[in-house]
Amino acid sequence: MRDRKTIFIGTSVHSWNDPRIFYKEAISLAKKFDVELHAPAEFKFRENKGVKIFGLPTWKKVAERKKIRKELMIRIRKSNANIFHFHDPELIFMCLYIKIFKRKKVIYDIHEDYYSQILLKNWIPSKYIRIIIANIYSFIEKIFCMFFDLIIFAESYYKDSFPQNIVSKSIDILNYPIININETQSISKRNDYVKIIYTGTITKDRGAINMIECLRILIKEDYNIKLFLVGYLKDENIISLIEADSLLSNHIVIIGKREYVDYSIIKRQYLDADIGLALISSKTHYENKILTKFYEYMYNEIPLVISNYSKWKKFILDAKCGICIDSENPIETANAVKYLIDNSEIAKQMGKNGSKAVQEKYNWLTQELKLLAMID
């Protein structure tokens, strides 16, 4: 039997238990390789599901990641791994170092459309400076990727801006949900209220204000509802807006206020949710990507109410699993939610349609097989 190769997975941005990096890719790769995951964690070492996890310092401010990168570089120099797999644009120079000086295989995993993401960075003071930085990074990324062995795209459309010589050595590994084909989904919706859920980072761009305004309308019309915001919420303005209004705070449950939420917690919250929201405001960055939360809502038989971007609308119509609305119009959004509440059998069928689509087509096993076949 051949000795198993070792893969060094590195991230300075994402927590060790990031759903894509740990629960999906690392655990899948451990079926074929010895996998080391080097990521921010509250511990020094842990082995979980066949993955050896080596903790890096945790961070709260961007400036604190400098010491993480320094520690990661020390580990890279000492490592005898056969393959290096990185997940953050700020580590792209380390990738090039490995290629030139260690002459090892390098995999660069592109999670986002970084060009449009940079344009949304409000901490960069000027719109024109953001455009300049976005263009500079986009240029550097394409040059560096020419030297890497495999490029992984988390969304198919990301490759549209890359030249053919990079696309030809790439693969799409989409963020489909993990399902257990040997286990029947146990969906339990027994609350005495309607549970509306949103999962993921909670910001204004990702629809926090839109959800709150929709909720105000539903509360005024005496709907017995609660909105569960499940994800990292650090925006003090949003927190204050909710906590200063006793009516709102009685109908909103925040899971993840000022802290990262583990994926296992998110999965539990899905089990009794009735409606899933994604009222995204930032069209430029999100309109071409199918959000991971869509698949997760669908798998858990949760009908969707989401923004009416053309790609999202086609996705929803094909799966018959929800309603698309103008997310900037709280009345239209509230009407869609009311329709699902008042027509429970239709909502239930939408949920079943979505779950069927995930089990037959949109599941992680399809991506795991591609990933393992592509890396050797």
- Domains in the chain, please, with CATH? 6-173 (3.40.50.2000), 194-360 (3.40.50.2000)
Structure tokens at 259: 């802290």
* pLDDT band at 279; cut points 50, 70, 90: very high
Structure tokens at 249: 């705070």
Structure tokens at 84: 């290096």
Q: Residue 306 CA to chain centroid, in angstroms?
A: 16
Q: What percentage of the chain carries pLDDT values higher than 90?
A: 85
> Which strands, in side-by-side order, build the sheet including 150-153?
45-48, 51-56, 34-40, 6-10, 83-86, 105-110, 150-153, 170-172
Provide mean pLDDT across the span 153-158: 95
Per-residue model confidence as pLDDT tens digits over 164-177: 999 999 999 999 99
Q: Residue 5 CA to chain centroid, in angstroms?
A: 28
Per-residue model confidence as pLDDT tens digits over 198-250: 999 999 989 999 999 999 999 999 999 999 999 999 999 999 999 999 999 99
DSSP 285-301: HHTTS--HHHHHHHHTT
Model confidence at 264: pLDDT above 50: yes
Structure tokens at 240: 């204050």
Per-residue model confidence as pLDDT tens digits over 295-340: 999 999 999 999 999 999 999 999 999 999 999 999 999 999 999 9
- What amino acid is encoded at 331 in this protein? I
Model confidence at 345: pLDDT above 70: yes
How many Å is the Cα radius of gyration of the chain?
Answer: 21
Cα–Cα distances (Å) from 296 to 35, 197, 304, in that order, read 26, 11, 10
Per-residue model confidence as pLDDT tens digits over 89-103: 999 999 999 999 999
Per-residue model confidence as pLDDT tens digits over 64-76: 999 999 999 999 9
Model confidence at 137: pLDDT above 60: yes
- Label the pairing between strands 6-10 and 34-40: parallel
* pLDDT band at 182; cut points 50, 70, 90: low
97/296 Cα distance (integer angstroms):
37
Across the chain, mean pLDDT equals 94
Provide mean pLDDT across the span 260-270: 92
Q: Given this model, what pLDDT does residue 153 score?
A: 98
Residue 342 phi, psi (nearest 5)? -75, -20
**What's the pTM value of the predicted model, to 2 decimals?**
0.87
Q: Given this model, what pLDDT does residue 283 score?
A: 67
- What amino acid is encoded at 169 in this protein? K
Taking the CB of residue 181, how many other CB atoms lie within 10 A of it?
7
Residue 321: burial class (beta carbons within 10 Å; 0-12, 13-18, 19+): buried
367/326 Cα distance (integer angstroms):
32
